[in-house]
Structure 1
């Protein structure tokens, strides 16, 4: 059990018989007749719905520890995404609606940590950012300009805005949740 005042983003809590991850939690000191409170947002790991709750700082919540197992992404049939345990060859699936923004970044044979609760798959622990190759983008207007952006198509078919200096074939880091460009990855360059 964990007190509401100790909630942190990323924790997994059992609420009303369902697993929820804490997306944000903030403590607000009370004043006058208003008592102190914790305002927290919880995301259902089953449905993806968000709940916002106002809790008393002393409220006890059931924290759940999830097991992590690295699995290999196999394929999707449109309704579900299939993963395989590389050690036991056991396969599991996730409904398409639970994959959310992650599905655009999945590639066959990609290894991803899957979170399990009592042996059942709950969610995937997708990295916050992924590295993707630029397949097409127009040439930059000004080579060293970084304040204006241009459209680029990634290897997964997704379009993002990138700085002018990014070229076709470059590898860039993209934030998974928002789909925004973070940085260009430089490989094999040494500083003298």
Structure 2
């Protein structure tokens, strides 16, 4: 494990802090008028899901943990637990569905997700950055509407509501960025 300074913490970093493994969810670098700068870090515990807000000064040293990443295929969900299978060894693991948070509706049958392990313990799951979805409901195209940056609401086949450009119609496949939950392009 590597030690990093408090001002080097980035979103997605996994830190060993107070005897637990924490993922940095939100990082704000604050430069107050008086005193030294610090990083305000919102962290989520990878084992129990609790949240913690912590301040790290640039002089503070933090243990950065490197997680082993494996591609695994999503099989099914039962009682709030997601079952994934290692595509090489066919071993199956279960992870709680709330790990995915807002991205949960984008998980599709047979999808390959990246599962992060720490010493053989599965801790986290990440979906592909871009997922293809079908639009089931949106407003029709209005002729002559050419204003730049105009978007209209659309509901996807997984129930998620996104904003799409006016030229995209109903029953079309689009690519959605799972990190920002925004329209990316036509499929």
TM-score by length of 2: 0.83
Q: How far apart, CA to CA, are the structure 2 residues paired with 1:26 and 1:159?
A: 28
Q: For residue 95 of structure 2, what is the aligned residue in structure 1?
A: 94
Instruction: Please say if residues 19 and 46 of structure 1, whose CA atoms lie closer than 8 Å, have aligned partners that are also in contact.
Output: yes
Q: How far apart, CA to CA, are the structure 2 residues paired with 1:106 and 1:137?
A: 22
Q: 1:167 Cα shift?
A: 1.3
Q: How far apart, CA to CA, are the structure 2 residues paired with 1:177 and 1:183?
A: 11
Please tell me whether residue 52 in structure 1 is matched to residue 53 in structure 2: yes
Q: 1:127 Cα shift?
A: 3.2
Unaligned residue ranges in structure 1 (runs of 5+): 187-192
Farther-moved stretch of structure 1 (68-77 vs 92-101): 92-101
Q: 1:105 Cα shift?
A: 0.6
Residues 110-159 of structure 1 deviation map (CA, whole Å, 9 limit, x = unaligned) = 11111111111111122344222223333212365464443323222333
State the Cα RMSD in Å: 2.4
Instruction: Please say if residues 16 and 62 of structure 2, whose CA atoms lie closer than 8 Å, have aligned partners that are also in contact.
Output: yes
Instruction: Note closer, same or farther for the CA distance 1:38–1:157 as it changes in structure 2 (3 Å cut).
Output: closer
Q: How far apart, CA to CA, are the structure 1 residues paired with 2:68 and 2:159?
A: 33
Listed as ranges, the matches of 1:11-160 within 5 Å are: 11-29=13-31, 32=34, 34-142=35-143, 145=146, 147-160=149-162
Instruction: Note closer, same or farther for the CA distance 1:183–1:142 as it changes in structure 2 (3 Å cut).
Output: farther
Q: For residue 190 of structure 1, what is the aligned residue in structure 2?
A: none
TM-score by length of 1: 0.82
Q: 1:101 Cα shift?
A: 1.6
Residues 87-110 of structure 1 deviation map (CA, whole Å, 9 limit, x = unaligned) = 111000111222212220111111
Instruction: Please say if residues 100 and 126 of structure 2, whose CA atoms lie closer than 8 Å, have aligned partners that are also in contact.
Output: no
Q: For residue 167 of structure 1, what is the aligned residue in structure 2?
A: 169
Q: How far apart, CA to CA, are the structure 2 residues paired with 1:126 and 1:61?
A: 27
Unaligned residue ranges in structure 2 (runs of 5+): none
Farther-moved stretch of structure 1 (102-111 vs 15-24): 15-24
Instruction: Please say if residues 41 and 52 of structure 1, whose CA atoms lie closer than 8 Å, have aligned partners that are also in contact.
Output: yes
Q: 1:165 Cα shift?
A: 1.0
Q: How far apart, CA to CA, are the structure 1 residues paired with 2:97 and 2:144?
A: 40
Q: For residue 7 of structure 1, what is the aligned residue in structure 2?
A: 9
Q: How far apart, CA to CA, are the structure 1 residues paired with 2:31 and 2:75?
A: 49
Instruction: Please say if residues 144 and 165 of structure 1, whose CA atoms lie closer than 8 Å, have aligned partners that are also in contact.
Output: no
Instruction: Note closer, same or farther for the CA distance 1:8–1:161 as it changes in structure 2 (3 Å cut).
Output: closer
